[in-house]
Structure 1
């Protein structure tokens, strides 16, 4: 169905469900690009939270995201779908949009609500920002 599918993940269960959808859309002939972003907090969110963004904390987050991407990679392999994995740092929606543009993906499949769902009610969700900025097809998978 789609030759290249981008599946961003924050390690949450909804992103795993979205990955399963993305793998199905690749239909055994496409490639699933698995992307995870170690979030860089904007300055206004860092105030008073220095411990939240230190290098040790980032390595724990990287390890957690590596486990999540490994899980999706295994799902793709089980389905006979080729996959590639990237873990980067930055602002999630910007990194997702940049990666999608650089790799010219046909579709982006992601969950509607991520790990930071409570904050998203106030600040706006990553999925909404990706929908607004993407030039490829977006498939937003709802929570079950």
Structure 2
């Protein structure tokens, strides 16, 4: 039923809960995991050289993204599930959809969290957009 399960992660506890669910499904269906972390281009634009060293901020965001996907890879390895990791820079929902298409994902498993309050009202939720626009099923997981 499933060969490849895409797991977008930001390293949060909610994302880890979604990753655990994805790993359980992948194990049951003898599938592999593709862990993805997206460095939001909007976050890169918040900083200027006058505020802080921009390259240090970029490196910090990349390090956090790498740690997030490696954590999923470690959980998958513990369960004996093959896992590939990817870090991208872009608009999160677009990158998730692109990776799902490029990697022939059969399922996307992601947390139900995201921005809240005014940011959510203005920008919308990454999870909501993926659910609405994905060509494959999307399983949303609460922590």
Q: Same fold (TM over 0.5)?
A: yes
Separation (CA, whole Å) in 2 of partners of 1:52 and 1:37: 22
Q: How does 1:1-144 map to 2 (within 5 A)?
A: 2-27=2-27, 29-41=30-42, 46=45, 49-50=47-48, 51=51, 54-114=54-114, 116-118=115-117, 119-143=119-143
RMSD across aligned C-alpha pairs, in angstroms?
Answer: 2.2
SS class of match (1:16): helix
Separation (CA, whole Å) in 2 of partners of 1:135 and 1:76: 25
Per the TM alignment, residue 49 of structure 1 is displaced from its structure 2 partner at its CA by 4.6
Q: How many residues align?
A: 139
Separation (CA, whole Å) in 1 of partners of 2:21 and 2:133: 21
The answer to whether the 8 A contact 1:27-1:81 is kept is: yes
Separation (CA, whole Å) in 2 of partners of 1:54 and 1:104: 35
TM-score (norm 2): 0.87
TM-score (norm 1): 0.87
- Unpaired runs of at least 5, structure 1: none
Per the TM alignment, residue 4 of structure 1 is displaced from its structure 2 partner at its CA by 0.5
Per the TM alignment, residue 121 of structure 1 is displaced from its structure 2 partner at its CA by 4.4
- Unpaired runs of at least 5, structure 2: none
